[in-house]
Amino acid sequence: MNERHTEMMVMVKGPSDPPIIDGTQNLQDGVLSNVTCTSNNGYPEPTFQWYIGAKNVTTNSTTQSSLNTYRFDAGSVLKLSPTKDDHGKHIVCQVSQANVKSQSVNDVLFVLYPPVIVYYSIRRVFNMQNSVDAILTCRSDSRPKASITWFLNGTELNNIPPSELFVSVTQSDRQYLDNANINVTAGDPYSITCEADRARPPAVLDWLLSEDVAVVHQDQSDVIQDGSYISQKAVTIMPSMNDQGKILNCTASHPELGNNLHCSIHLNVNHLLLKDPLQLRRVKVSKFCAWNNSTCSS
């Protein structure tokens, strides 16, 4: 009796390993780059589709595969020249196999581009010598963020943070540092000035006050002296007895400061003591007119 033996190879369909995408980081504006997608250990041989946003860009890709112990290892390479406007867009690699559920992987494009000056300006300021100086502002656009360096006749100009921050009151010659107590009289107007010295470029000053404190803000002034700036910003208040213990806080920000400088003052409000009602009325009318810059008669 003759016996025949037949050998058969059974190929079992199975999905590939989850696809992996690489090369989406540190792309450069206008530079041809490769983004790869790999999908291994699957059968039958997979095919690849590429998308950037909703746009199919598969025509810009090539695919290679190899049979490894009855399973296919495959990869696709997408060639693209991204622009800075492509930054943040989603890129998708979709892997398909016959009679097997497709898989996909997505990532976000990160596109670098060199600095471009998008804004510059010159602002005139008056200094203590009654002449005119200029503040030059330059703004750039880039990824990653660029640093800006100024040169004067070939010599680099370095930024200088403010050396100190203090507060002064018009009614006295004293200068107050942080956490100072200032005596004021209820109903009297007080001009309080915050000052930052010896900074380049000028420090940016800001007053933080309680919403219920009656106040008039003034614009910041920047005066150049010996190559750096003295910056001042004043507020005028008309304190009441309800302002007792309230805090006025001035902050100074600067590119060379890791944290803002702060100078706070605490109001110690005194009563206005007048015994004559007519005199009290005249004082109130006079102060009201002074506060509103108007001419009145009592």
Q: Domain spans of the chain?
A: 20-112, 114-157, 164-271
Report the pLDDT averaged over residues 44-67: 95
User: With respect to CATH, is domain 164-271 assigned 2.60.40.10?
Assistant: yes
The pLDDT assigned to 164 comes to 86
The secondary structure of the chain in percent helix, strand, coil, rounded to multiples of 5, reads 10, 55, 40
Instruction: For 156-190, write each residue's pLDDT tens digit.
Output: 877 888 888 999 887 777 888 889 898 889 888 88
Instruction: For 247-285, write each residue's pLDDT tens digit.
Output: 999 999 988 888 889 999 999 999 765 444 554 444 444
Which residues fall within 8 angstroms of residue 5, CB to CB, at 6 or more apart? none
Domains 20-112 and 164-271 share a fold: yes
Instruction: For 15-28, write each residue's pLDDT tens digit.
Output: 899 999 999 999 99
User: With respect to CATH, is domain 20-112 assigned 2.40.50.140?
Assistant: no
Which residues fall within 8 angstroms of residue 253, CB to CB, at 6 or more apart? 203, 204, 206, 260
